[in-house]
Amino acid sequence: MTAPLTAKKKAQERKERFATSSDIELKRQYEPEDVPSDTAGEIGEAGEYPYTRGVQPTMYRGRFWTMRQYAGYASAEESNARYRYLLDQGQTGLSVAFDLPTQIGYDADDPMALGEVGKVGVSISSIHDMARLFQDIPLDKVSTSMTINAPATVLLAMYIAVGKQQGFSADQLRGTVQNDILKEYIARGTYIFPPVPSLRLITDLFAYCKTDVPQWNTISISGYHIREAGCTAVQEVAFTLANGMAYVQAAIDAGLDVDDFAPQLSFFFNAHNQFLEEVAKFRAARKLWAVIMKERFGAKNPRSWQLKFHTQTGGSTLTAQQPENNIVRVALQALAAVMGGTQSLHTNSMDEALALPTQKAVQVALRTQQIIAHETGVADTVDPLAGSYVIESLTDEIVKRAEDYIRKIDDMGGALKAIEAGFINLEIQDAAYAYLKAVESGEQVIVGMNQFTVEGEIQPDLLRVNPAMEASQRAKLAEMRSKRDNAKVAELRGQLDTAAKGSENLMPLLVTCVENEVTLGEICHTLRGVFGEYRPNVSI
Per-residue model confidence as pLDDT tens digits over 394-448? 999 999 999 999 999 999 999 999 999 999 999 999 999 999 999 999 999 999 9
Rounded (5°) CA angle 188-500-266: 40
**Res 10: pLDDT:** 47
Average of pLDDT values for 520-538? 94
When pLDDT is averaged across residues 368-395 and rounded to a whole number, the result is 97
Instruction: Encode pLDDT of 276-285 as tens digits.
Output: 999 999 999 9
Closest CA to 287 of 79, 448, 54: 54
Question: pLDDT, tens digit, for every residue of 145-200?
Answer: 999 999 999 999 999 999 999 999 999 999 999 999 999 999 999 999 999 999 99
Q: Alpha helix (H) ranges present in 300-358? A: 302-305, 325-339
Widest CA span in the chain: 83
Q: Can you spell out the DSSP letters for 76-112?
A: HHHHHHHHHHHHHTT--EEEEEBPHHHHTT--TTSGG
pLDDT at 42: 63
Q: Is the pLDDT of residue 357 over 80?
A: yes
DSSP secondary structure letters along 484-504: S-HHHHHHHHHHHHHHHHS-S
Q: Which residues contact residue 161 at a Cβ distance below 8 angstroms, ignoring those fewer than 6 apart?
A: 127, 130, 511, 514, 515
pLDDT for 44: 84
Summarised one tens digit per residue, pLDDT across range 23-41 is 999 999 999 999 887 664 5
Instruction: Please give the Cα distance from 346 to 220 (Å, whole number).
Output: 14
For the chain, the distance separating the N- and C-terminal CA atoms, rounded to the nearest angstrom, is: 41
- Residue 108: pLDDT above 80? yes
Segment 60-97, tens digit of pLDDT? 999 999 999 999 999 999 999 999 999 999 999 999 99
Percent of the chain with pLDDT over 90: 92
pTM exceeding 0.85: yes
CB 473 within 8 A of CB 108: yes
Judge contact between 517 and 480, C-beta under 8 A: yes
Each residue's pLDDT tens digit, 320-347: 999 999 999 999 999 999 999 999 999 9
Average per-residue pLDDT in the chain? 95
**Residue 457 banded pLDDT, cuts 50, 70, 90:** confident
Q: Give CA–CA dist 105/497, Å, rounded.
A: 16
CATH of domain 32-42+64-103+130-441: 3.20.20.240
What are the residue ranges spanned by the domains of the chain? 32-42+64-103+130-441
Find the mean pLDDT for residues 191-212. Answer: 97
Spatial CA neighbour of 282 closest among 95, 67, 51, 56: 51
Distance CA 217, CA 146 (A): 11
